[in-house]
Structure 1
Amino acid sequence: MLFSSEQQLNNDEQQQFWQSVTQSTLEKNDVSLAYAYIQHSDSSKAIVISSGRVESYLKYKELMFDLYQHGYSIYILDHRGQGLSSRITTNPHQGHIDKFQTYIDDLNDFVELIVNPNKHKNLYLVGHSMGGTIGTLYMEQYPTTFNAAVFSAPMYGIKLPFNKTFIRSLAGLLDTCNDKQPHKQPNYVLGGTDYEPVEFEKNHLTNSPNRYQQILDVFNQNPSIQLGSPTNRWLLEAMDAADRATKAAALSIKPIMVLQALDDEIVDNAAQNRAENIHCQIRRIANCQHEVFIEADDARNQALRTLVSFFDKY
């Protein structure tokens, strides 16, 4: 099973592929949701990608290319408040959401209005990090949509500097988005900042300097997709959603494969372990940090082989 190499990123073949990808927007009330897709002429199977926090589909060009080569039509949505979708805060760098359910509702609209009209015979879901939380809760609410799902480092728990109860209490006290202050703007979590690029030597996302630099270049070349720290409201919503997603994954009636990065410093692998059962399997990947799909070739190829083989069963 062949996949792209970190030594040949953004090569001529990938660039030509991207010229065939359609980029558009889904208008929803006052929000514009950006998305991209490409239909495979020789296949009736498709993958919907739910990306992680701070991400845009522009970051997923290589993954989309690889999955397309294995016979899938690909659809990917930029969640509201990030990527090329509308910002919902005065400061466009704030990672914010009013209710986590809003992400799930947006994904459902995307599936119903953009994906389903193309009547794919087999439909699969891929989610990374926060996108895995969204995807797991989506499958709980709409269990008949997808044949199966693969979640890369899903946010079933967040690695926190202090006790979770303390962090939730602190975020609740600091959160300006409450009933007592209905017109006040959201505020960053304690110590939160606007977008600041981190040099490779200090990153906790990937072991691949080439893929990491490519992602930095994407954010540098497209300033509008830059996103900083989350708000207190996002943190509160995300912590509760992560707890719900862990339970939903454990009770899923559809097959789920979790790609667990054994060196993850962002999400809590112990929470993923609590969801493991016959329907929610875990593939543990060594020498792998949080960004499974932009990792060094050995770890990334292992993850992609697992993904393709898993979907082939369903």
Structure 2
Amino acid sequence: MTTSREWEFAGTRGAVTARIWAGGEPRYVAVLVHGYGEHLGRYDHVADVLVRHGAVVCGPDHMGHGRSAGERVLIEDFEDVVADLHTLVESARGDHPGLPVVMIGHSMGGLIATRYAQLHGGLLTALVLSGPVLGNWHVAEQLLPLDEMPDVPIDTATLSRDPSVGKAYTEDPLVWHGPFKKTTVRALDTAMRRIGEHGSLGALPTLYVHGEDDRLVPPDATRVGIEAVRGEDLTERIYPGARHEVFNETNRDEVLTDVTGFIERQLPK
């Protein structure tokens, strides 16, 4: 397994911890954008596959997540998270001038990556979205009218058909196991609306992957968001029976092969 190293940079709301995985001479930069309540340390196996494919892989723990500063899972405006991501991308481009940049976002990270592509798509060679929070998300719709956020633990069986994934998630001290923050839910809703209003990703090659049995971010709801932003080059894979974390699913090898195959087709020959 490829080992990672950490570093810090000044984010919009405090210090942001980032990771990098590298090996050999890279052909491209892959930027990983993690989801709500988790951290980039859960993506070691994804980074390993990408490094073996020829990438130098990097990404941040978002503000209030993982090892980064800030009140846990509190995000007031996702434009701040996008700005932090841009700082990281610019740093990676400075370290690896001329290399293509591919962004891979999961769940809430898919929302962040989509917004990044809308604002800075000219810097990207390709975009990969995994179960992205786009369109109409039932969790936001249910929580926004409430005065107090319910403290109901996630059913980890919804993450993957592999029970070891849920066990590791439960035991991970860097994963947030408490309730949503109302401010964050409001910011998520605002970001989804902003993305839908902004519209198409244009000519940016985009791979959209989703588990057919994703109950946390149902594909039917995401479909609205995908149709709002889809550009001229969209590839789509819906995996039968798969749940929310397709990179951690029982068919993860198939999913990651689809991802690297898509990236390969976008790289300069």
Which TM-score band applies after superposition, normalised by the shorter structure? 0.7 to 0.9
What does 1:234-253 align with in structure 2 at a 5 Å threshold? 234-246=184-196, 250-253=200-203
Deviation at 1:70, TM superposition (A): 1.4
Does the C-alpha gap of structure 1 residues 216 and 140 become closer, same or farther in structure 2, counting only changes over 3 Å? same
Deviation at 1:120, TM superposition (A): 4.6
Q: Give the conservation status (yes or no) of the 8 Å contact 1:46–1:120.
A: no
In the alignment, structure 2 segments of 5+ residues that lack a partner are: none
Residue aligning to 2:170: 216
Deviation at 1:72, TM superposition (A): 1.1
Separation in structure 2 between the aligned mates of residue 108 and residue 87 of structure 1, nearest angstrom = 19
Q: Give the conservation status (yes or no) of the 8 Å contact 1:47–1:73.
A: yes
Residue aligning to 2:210: 260
Does the C-alpha gap of structure 1 residues 87 and 266 become closer, same or farther in structure 2, counting only changes over 3 Å? same
Matched to 2:185, the amino acid is L
Deviation at 1:45, TM superposition (A): 0.9
Residue aligning to 1:104: 82
Q: Give the conservation status (yes or no) of the 8 Å contact 1:212–1:294.
A: no
Alignment coverage as a number of residue pairs: 262
Residue aligning to 1:184: none
Does the C-alpha gap of structure 1 residues 46 and 161 become closer, same or farther in structure 2, counting only changes over 3 Å? closer
In the alignment, structure 1 segments of 5+ residues that lack a partner are: 1-13, 175-188
Does the C-alpha gap of structure 1 residues 161 and 129 become closer, same or farther in structure 2, counting only changes over 3 Å? closer
Matched to 1:146, the amino acid is L
Deviation at 1:197, TM superposition (A): 7.4
Residue aligning to 1:58: 41
Matched to 2:6, the amino acid is Q
Residue aligning to 2:150: 191
Does the C-alpha gap of structure 1 residues 27 and 260 become closer, same or farther in structure 2, counting only changes over 3 Å? same
Separation in structure 2 between the aligned mates of residue 232 and residue 40 of structure 1, nearest angstrom = 41
Q: Residues 251-289 of structure 1, C-alpha deviation per residue, up to 9 Å, x if partnerless?
A: 433111110111011113224323245423321111110
What does 1:198-213 align with in structure 2 at a 5 Å threshold? 203-213=157-167
User: Percent identity between the aligned chains?
Assistant: 21
Q: Give the conservation status (yes or no) of the 8 Å contact 2:64–2:70.
A: yes
Q: Give the conservation status (yes or no) of the 8 Å contact 1:155–1:268.
A: no
What does 1:114-153 align with in structure 2 at a 5 Å threshold? 114-153=92-131
Output the TM-score relative to the length of structure 2: 0.87
Matched to 1:256, the amino acid is T
Between 1:205-214 and 1:287-296, the stretch displaced more is 205-214
Q: Give the conservation status (yes or no) of the 8 Å contact 1:249–1:256.
A: no
Residue aligning to 1:32: 15
Q: Give the conservation status (yes or no) of the 8 Å contact 1:35–1:77.
A: yes
Does the C-alpha gap of structure 1 residues 154 and 224 become closer, same or farther in structure 2, counting only changes over 3 Å? closer
Q: Is 1:311 aligned to residue 263 of structure 2? A: yes
Q: Give the conservation status (yes or no) of the 8 Å contact 2:29–2:92.
A: no
Separation in structure 2 between the aligned mates of residue 304 and residue 73 of structure 1, nearest angstrom = 16
Q: 2:55 aligns with which of 69, 72, 76?
A: 72
Separation in structure 2 between the aligned mates of residue 102 and residue 129 of structure 1, nearest angstrom = 18
SS in 2 for 1:106: helix
Separation in structure 2 between the aligned mates of residue 248 and residue 260 of structure 1, nearest angstrom = 23
Matched to 1:126, the amino acid is I
SS in 2 for 1:125: strand
Q: Give the conservation status (yes or no) of the 8 Å contact 1:133–1:155.
A: yes
Separation in structure 2 between the aligned mates of residue 138 and residue 252 of structure 1, nearest angstrom = 13
Structure with larger Rg? 1
Matched to 2:48, the amino acid is F
Q: Give the conservation status (yes or no) of the 8 Å contact 1:44–1:120.
A: no
Does the C-alpha gap of structure 1 residues 115 and 77 become closer, same or farther in structure 2, counting only changes over 3 Å? farther
Output the TM-score relative to the length of structure 1: 0.76
